Amino acid sequence: MRRLNLWLGTLACALTLAFGMPPAAQAASSKPSASAKKSSKAKTVKRKSSKSSRKVVRRAPPVPSVGQLAGLRDTSDPLNLQSSVALVVDQDTDEVLFSKNPDAVLPIASITKLMTAMVVVQGGQSLNDELTITQDDVDTLKGSSSRLAVGTRLTRGEMLHLALMSSENRAAHALGRHYPGGLDAFISAMNAKASLLGMHATHYVDPTGLSSSNRSSAQDLALLVRAASEVPLISELSTTREAAVDVGRRQLQYRNSNALVRDPEWTIALQKTGYIREAGRCVVMQAEMAGRKLIMVLLDAAGSYTRTADAERLRSWLASGPLSMSAGVTPPSAR
């Protein structure tokens, strides 16, 4: 009997290996255990909770510029420029070579700093005087950043250099604050100088350009570029490719905000860029093309690459065609 049971057990093992487990056993083994069910359920709940915890971040649409709201970007022109305003003038003859919405009065952002430089230079204060950045120079309007920390001490000449070359806002504000009579007297001097130059559509409220109330037209800015280009120091400081300043034990490296000064295809004697949301991307330049000194003004481009592309398109057009050709356009509202 013992041998029979052993033989039957051996036979059952052989049948199992040959044909698999019996159906009942298979069913029993396929059923998940209670602990397995609990673990699977916990994973599902965890997966659902992780999905529900993900926040969908929706970006707000970009706020349009003043020029865009006025429909100026929709103005057509022969070169299909993307800037709302464009003007090219021969500095020596006053001949207008290209014109697009030249009388539109718009925010000018850091183009303001050209007038800031004019008032500083003509104010006659020593460029070697040491000025200090204080909390008053910190931008509370736009919240823009600066590498010039409160307490930084630089000479007036260094502050002027950084304001023109790299559009350093705290430096520009400090220049105005250290003017005889303070900031209010400085802004009054800016507006008086604008009036003296015949810039009758221009108004300034601060020396940085952070306020959208600093406004001008391309026609007026061409007058400013002409006057500023006659001041060698302003021309030199505005076109420096890069510079370093010593701040305590550190040295800060700055680059020109206008990439075109590093382009060998351009010969730029004076320049200034600008940007705030209300103004779009702006640039003014005095450059030599085809042996002539030309003043170029571009206001309210959608982006820095667009601004540069418009400048390049104008340069190519001027180089390939007769410079006496004028392309005047009028805004949609005037048609």
Q: What are the catalytic residues?
A: 110, 113, 167
> For 207-279, where are the E strands, in sequence order?
215-216, 242-247, 250-255, 268-276
- The residue assigned the tokens 């630089």 is 154
For residue 146, which of 164, 121, 172, 128 has the smallest C-alpha distance?
A: 172
Contact between 111 and 274 (Cβ < 8 Å): yes
**Both tokens of residue 85?**
């305003």
**Sign of dihedral through CA atoms 191, 195, 198, 201?**
positive
Angstrom CA distances, 24 to 29, 36, 100, stand at 9, 20, 88
Task: Tell me the C-alpha distance between 209 and 284, whole Å.
Answer: 14
Adjacent-strand bridge partners of 288: 293
